[in-house]
Structure 1
Amino acid sequence: MSSTVFRTLVFSAALFTGSFSLPTLAHDADFSAKDLNEQLVMSTLWMQASAEYKAMSYQAFNLAKMQFDHYVSQHTGGKKIAVVVDADETIIDNSGYQAWLIGKDFGYSSKTWGEWMDAAEARAMPGALAFLTYVANNGGEVFYITNRKVSGLEGTRENLQDLGFPNVDDAHLMLRDSTSDKQPRREAIAKDYDIALLMGDNLNDFSNDFRTKSLAASDAAVEKNKALFGTQFIMLPNPAYGDWEGKVYDGNWGASAAEKDQMRKSKFHVWQPEK
């Protein structure tokens, strides 16, 4: 029996048992980071080549403008108004870094990501600059809460300023220091501002309701907060990476390339044609 057939049988059985665990086969040792990086091809190509990706980005920022205008028209508080955005894959596009990884026999690392940040070459997401400029010109201030480490501050500041984004200064550019938890930074803004909108590509950009440890818990949190999406929370498309991937691995980011490949594929809902 070939290994492919054997794996197909194991996979089919898993669909009925509700569990999935592939045995280690000889060729798993040959499955490399380069092989795993090949799985980035379609998501990265979609982000860089499809008009649909551009359309979804414009759609998000058009909706954000509508909601911002509505918020301003109804605002009666004494605080100033803020719009809070993530950076990566929310207002700037890092697909160039993802594309660079394809064909390499290593994955993401803080070293190469640091080099990418220092290069300051991320492009603006379609619609992002126009919307945030509109906010700054119409009674709002923009805060950037990003989990880029503070070591990338200078490159990030240069990148955003070169693209023309507003409010790119020490008061508004809030990178990660001691924790990846964004809630303390959101709360710091909320002391002096009413937050009209939060925008991000990752659920953790919105609320600590989404700081979950499993895919099922994340799904439940989305159901709980579904009325807020498109009103207070605006989600941007990012099919390439995110905190959700770690939940696929049950938090084991150190798993081998072969193990990650297996864990990814174990989450598929697979159609089985009738014999």
Structure 2
Amino acid sequence: MGKNTSLCFLVISLFAIMTSCNSKKAKDKFRTKTETTVVTDTLSRDLSNRNEHMVMAVAFQQTAGEYRALCYQAYNLAKYMLDKDLNDRKINLPRCVVLDIDETVLDNSPYEAKCILERIAYPNKWSEWIVKAKAKAIPGALDFVKYATANGVEVYFVSNRKDTERESTILNLKDAGFSNIDENHLLLKSDENSKEPRRLKIKETRHISLLFGDCLADFTADFDGKHSSQERKDLVDKMKREFGTRFIVLPNSMYGDWEGAIYDNNYAIADSLKKVKRYKSLTEF
């Protein structure tokens, strides 16, 4: 092979190598830029909807047969426990049951769905939802209330809805089938969040056979106040015999004091910090 031929071959080889390197760099640069753009766009969409984390929770309550099964299970168990209470001859006071309203007898998941789709948060449009009085009955709730009434047991609704929402609440309950509701058996929030004073008022003249709720504070004052997630779990463990016997819990994956505990009971923190705290609350293997 002559010198000129060798030199020409060397030049061509070097050019091919340089072209290949430049092409690889360009591809890597394009790939990095594309991946960064995808990640950025995804994060942007995620952060732009402050309620993205609620989608599966609301979908569970609106679409899962398992959710309905849990509700029926709670109210079926309640009938059984009420029968046991009715057979206790040592009780002399008139019997009653005490039920929370939201997510215990009325389903507000359409409101939560509205919050997701319109990127708003409670209390925005809550009053508008209440006035519509269109919440449906939770599965099993109406059957149980009818069963209790038929057995001579009074039914009290104790809710932290505002007293200004009383008229719409009564209208909604009646429309959902709870036709026997009246002013004296609907105890709404006045000045304080705790339901304990209202429960104690009922206890003055009635024996409370069962309490129903989706939040632990619906059952006892022990859960009032700002407890950590661990403190709440510890209290539940101490009272484990009460659940399913006197306390009937309904499932609610959408909101509750359990969520507030994740945020150190401070809902005022930024949405970005709430997201961080939600992730930090997870336990992995």
- Shorter-normalised TM-score: what interval? 0.7 to 0.9
1:9 is matched with: none
1:89 is matched with: 103
2:139 is matched with: 126
Q: Determine if contact 1:144/1:174 at 8 Å carries over to the other structure.
A: yes
User: How far is the alpha carbon of 1:204 from its aligned partner?
Assistant: 0.1
1:206 is matched with: 219
1:12 is matched with: none
Amino acid at match of 1:174: L
2:155 is matched with: 142
Secondary structure of the residue aligned to 1:178 is: coil
Amino acid at match of 2:157: Y
2:120 is matched with: 106
1:259 is matched with: 273
Secondary structure of the residue aligned to 2:84 is: helix
Let me know the Cα RMSD of the aligned residues: 1.9
Matched, 1:48 2:47: no
Are the structure 2 counterparts of residues 240 and 182 from structure 1 closer, same or farther at C-alpha, using a change threshold of 3 Å? same
Q: Determine if contact 2:46/2:52 at 8 Å carries over to the other structure.
A: no
Q: Determine if contact 1:141/1:167 at 8 Å carries over to the other structure.
A: no
Distance 1:57 1:146 in 2: 19
User: How far is the alpha carbon of 1:34 from its aligned partner?
Assistant: 4.8
Distance 2:273 2:59 in 1: 25
Please give the TM-score of this superposition, normalised by the length of structure 1. 0.85
Q: How many residues align?
A: 245
Secondary structure of the residue aligned to 1:247 is: helix
1:65 is matched with: 79
Distance 1:34 1:41 in 2: 14
Q: Determine if contact 1:43/1:240 at 8 Å carries over to the other structure.
A: yes
Amino acid at match of 2:185: H
Please give the TM-score of this superposition, normalised by the length of structure 2. 0.82
Correspondence for 1:238 among 237, 252, 256: 252
Comparing both structures, which one devotes a greater share of its residues to helix? 2
Q: Percent identity, please.
A: 40
2:261 is matched with: 247
User: How far is the alpha carbon of 1:104 from its aligned partner?
Assistant: 2.0
Distance 1:161 1:142 in 2: 14
Deviations 1:124-166 (A, max 9, x none): 0111001001101101000000111112111111000111215
Runs of 4+ displaced beyond 4 Å: 29-34
Correspondence for 1:225 among 234, 239, 242: 239
Distance 1:145 1:125 in 2: 16
Correspondence for 2:171 among 142, 146, 158: 158
Correspondence for 2:189 among 176, 180, 185: 176
Amino acid at match of 1:202: C
Matched, 1:117 2:136: no
